[in-house]
């Protein structure tokens, strides 16, 4: 079996959710993200971001701007001595009916093919119902991150995750317990 991967949501999970973020200067890591991702790396896990960016399809910003935001994210993570294996974005709107907007599994299948991992062996981390649903669909272990104020957004608990956590730092600690 290949390396196991953590599939991470971007907005509200790794960085502050600015709602349709287009400006690289708006990228801000959430507390505990650097340490949590470092811990995952030390456990030998691969790290991939899977993100819905419908702002592209809605005309709010371009794919180039998404790429600039991701370059900035990479810089901030490098300061934390963390490197991602990849970032996969869906640029479509819900109305497009694509196969890659979470909870659809298209981006996971693409990443699994390119990076050689088994989707069902993954750990999916996100702050929304669509993230938990994605994890369920691929047979992965799911972590739901609470909001910044500790709230659970409406509808979130309609589908219970395997773990409810305060943030990515807590995921790192749980994975250390599961995998060691
Ligand atoms: Mg999110
Ligand atoms: Zn899509």
Average pLDDT of the chain, as a whole number: 94
Q: Which ligand is nearest to the CA of 12?
A: 1
Half-sphere exposure of 23 toward its Cβ, with a 13 Å CA cutoff?
6
At residue 178, the pLDDT reads: 96
Q: Which ligand is nearest to the CA of 105?
A: 2
pLDDT tens-digit readout, 88-99: 999 999 999 999
Could you tell me the sign of the dihedral formed by the alpha carbons of 102, 178, 36, 87, in that order? negative
- pLDDT confidence of 20, banded at 50, 70, 90? very high
pLDDT at residue 1 above 70? no
- What residues have a C-beta under 5 A from ligand 2, the ion? 90, 92, 98, 100-101
Question: How many Å lie between the centroid of ligand 1 and the Cα of residue 134?
Answer: 12
pLDDT tens-digit readout, 64-113: 999 999 999 999 999 999 999 999 999 999 999 999 999 999 999 999 99
Residues 6+ apart with CB under 8 A from 97: none
Let me know if 96 is a catalytic residue.
no
pLDDT tens-digit readout, 113-161: 999 999 999 999 999 999 999 999 999 999 999 875 555 655 555 578 9
Let me know if 23 is a catalytic residue.
no
Under a CB-based contact definition with an 8 Å cutoff, are residues 5 and 44 in contact? Answer: no
In CATH, which of 3.40.50.1000, 3.20.20.70, 3.40.30.10, 3.90.1150.10 is domain 9-179? 3.40.50.1000
**Comparing C-alpha atoms, which of 72, 79, 145, 105 is closest to residue 88?**
105
């Amino acid at each position: 079996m290949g390396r196991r991967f953590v599939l991470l949501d971007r907005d509200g999970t790794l960085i502050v959710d600015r709602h349709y973020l287009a400006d690289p200067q708006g990228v801000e890591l959430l507390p505990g993200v650097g340490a949590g991702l470092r811990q995952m790396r030390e456990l030998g896990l691969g790290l991939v971001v899977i993100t819905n960016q419908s702002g592209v399809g809605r005309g709010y910003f371009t794919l180039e701007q998404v790429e600039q935001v991701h370059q900035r994210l990479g810089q901030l993570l490098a300061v934390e001595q963390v490197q991602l294996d990849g970032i996969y974005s869906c640029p479509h709107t819900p109305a497009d009916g694509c196969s890659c907007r979470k909870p659809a599994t298209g981006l996971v299948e693409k990443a699994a093919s390119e990076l050689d991992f088994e989707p069902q062996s993954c750990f999916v981390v996100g702050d929304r119902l669509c993230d938990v649903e994605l994890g369920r669909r691929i047979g992965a272990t799911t972590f739901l991150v609470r909001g910044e104020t500790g709230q659970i957004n409406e509808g979130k608990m309609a589908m219970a995750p395997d773990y409810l956590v305060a943030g990515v730092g807590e995921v790192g600690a749980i994975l250390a317990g599961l995998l060691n």
